[in-house]
Amino acid sequence: MDLLLNFLPAIIIIVVMFGITMIAALYSTYGERKVAAYLQDRHGPNRAGPGGLLQPLADGVKMFLKEEIIPVASNKFLFILGPSIAMTCALMTGVVLPWGDKFTLFGRTFNLQATDLNIGVLYVFAVVSVSVYGIMIGGWASNNKWSLMGAIRASSQIISYELSMGLSIIALLMVTGTLSFREIVLQQHGGILHWNFIAQPLGFLIFLICAFAECNRAPFDLAECETELVGGYHTEYSSMKLGFFLFAEYINMFISSAVMSALFFGGFNFPGMDFLAEKGLDANWITLIGTAGYFLKIIFFIFFFMWVRWTIPRFRYDQLMNLGWKSLIPIALLNLAITAAVMVIRHSNNFGF
């Protein structure tokens, strides 16, 4: 019972964030259609509810009520397992992200974070590296040539970009010296100039590009490009299984925006934080404003994902692999070298100069 009470805040945060993640993913689909519409000078969904606001719910209900088709040639168990893995992995990452600072309620102070692992960043990597199975297994189990090709392309792409992503994080770690999300965010306290994208502009750019590739988003959405591969790895899927694949993509977008905001854009820090504290504003309110600021940053990044998707044409597969292996990895290594050099100069007494 005591143990349960200890984890009560964590459980509440997990459940609330689960709901918020779902809603964010649902409304990202709406946002995507609206953004696409405005970029192409049309209205987008506007029939269901005011301004089309109920459109995502209608889409969700439609997904639920569609016919479930499992091809005879497919491997039935693996066919169901594929989207399940994709969705579960997408939902697993949020648990280590710092959604806010300390919050006091009923005399108890806790962090607005389910758990603060001292290797939180590595945990995100572990989940990302496992989530590739959803696509691989789903595509292979369909027993369809389009799906197989889409799956192989997607998995090669994801594993290739994982490397540069890791290298860009290493440079950030050299600056921060910790893998805990909370500590990284707290270090960025004190104004925009302390945010990590100032110290690591190149690292941030690499991370951003890799995040696009990891989420299979345009211009890296070769795995599902309809002009070449019909639907890619989800050609054979219907009903909620297709829904899970699409949903996982939007959740991944949300989560990677959250990771980027936390690592490079100060997380729940916002300009004027200390000023408000000096004015005597309650710490709870500052925490809530910080959380709202964090979500604003996330929404900006999600918008950026969509903006890029409807602006930039898709890469060719050889261009994609060349970018991953021959450009990003050398640039990431260069970034590592620059970071090391700057750190050695700034902390020269640690290195005996």
Partner 1 sequence: MQIGQIILVPGNNSILLCDFHHSITKLYLPSMNNTQLDFIPIIIQFFLAAGFVGGTMFITHFLGPKLKTRKKLRAFESGIESIGNARQPFAIKYFLTAILFVLFDVEVIFLYPYAVNFLDLGINGLITMFLFIALLLGGFIYVIKSGALDWE
Partner 2 sequence: MLQSLFYFLSFTSIFLACMVVFAKNPVHSVLYLILTFFTIAGHYLILNAQFLALVHVVVYAGAIMVLFLFVIMLLNLNAETEPRQSMLMKFAGTIAGGCLMLVLIAVFSKANALPAAHEVNSQIGLIKNLGKILYTDYIMPFEVASILFLIAMIGAVILAKREPKAAI
The answer to whether 141 and 78 have CB atoms below 8 angstroms apart is yes
Q: Return the ∠ at Cα 10 (arms to 192 and 5), rounded to 5°.
A: 140
Tokens of 37: 């519409």
Give the range of 5-13, 134-142, 231-239, 249-257 binding partner 2 by CB under 8 A: 134-142
Letters for 158-187 (x = contact with partner 2 by CB under 8 A, - = none) are -x-------------------x--------
* C-beta of 46 vs 239, nearer to partner 1: 239
The span from the CA of 273 to the CA of 268, in Å, is 10
- Is 317 a residue that touches partner 2 (CB under 8 A)? no
The span from the CA of 138 to the CA of 245, in Å, is 9
Which of 130, 192, 292, 345 lies at the binding interface for partner 2 (CB under 8 A)?
Answer: 130
Q: Name the DSSP class of 67.
A: P
- Is 268 a residue that touches partner 2 (CB under 8 A)? no
The span from the CA of 36 to the CA of 164, in Å, is 29
Q: Residue 130 binds which one of partner 2, partner 1, none, with CB within 5 to 8 A depending on kind? A: partner 2
Which of 80, 92, 122, 225 lies at the binding interface for partner 2 (CB under 8 A)?
Answer: 122
* C-beta of 128 vs 262, nearer to partner 2: 128
Tokens of 78: 């693996």
CB of 115 to partner 2, least distance (A): 12
The span from the CA of 8 to the CA of 40, in Å, is 47
- Is 78 a residue that touches partner 2 (CB under 8 A)? yes
Give the range of 33-41, 151-159, 209-217, 322-330 binding partner 2 by CB under 8 A: 151-159
- Is 123 a residue that touches partner 2 (CB under 8 A)? yes
Which of 125, 303, 317, 325 lies at the binding interface for partner 2 (CB under 8 A)?
Answer: 125
Q: Return the ∠ at Cα 212 (arms to 211 and 214), rounded to 5°.
A: 60
CB of 51 to partner 2, least distance (A): 42
The span from the CA of 252 to the CA of 137, in Å, is 18
- Is 119 a residue that touches partner 2 (CB under 8 A)? yes
- Is 230 a residue that touches partner 2 (CB under 8 A)? no
Q: Name the DSSP class of 94.
A: G
* C-beta of 129 vs 187, nearer to partner 2: 129
The span from the CA of 56 to the CA of 28, in Å, is 9
- Is 84 a residue that touches partner 2 (CB under 8 A)? no
CB of 96 to partner 2, least distance (A): 11
Q: How far is CA 107 from CA 5, 38, 110, 127, 143, in A?
A: 14, 48, 10, 35, 57
Helices first, then strands: H and E counts in the chain? 15, 2
Footprint on this chain of partner 2 (rule: CB under 8 A) = 75, 78, 81, 117-119, 122-123, 125-126, 128-130, 132-133, 136-137, 140-141, 148-149, 152, 155, 159, 179
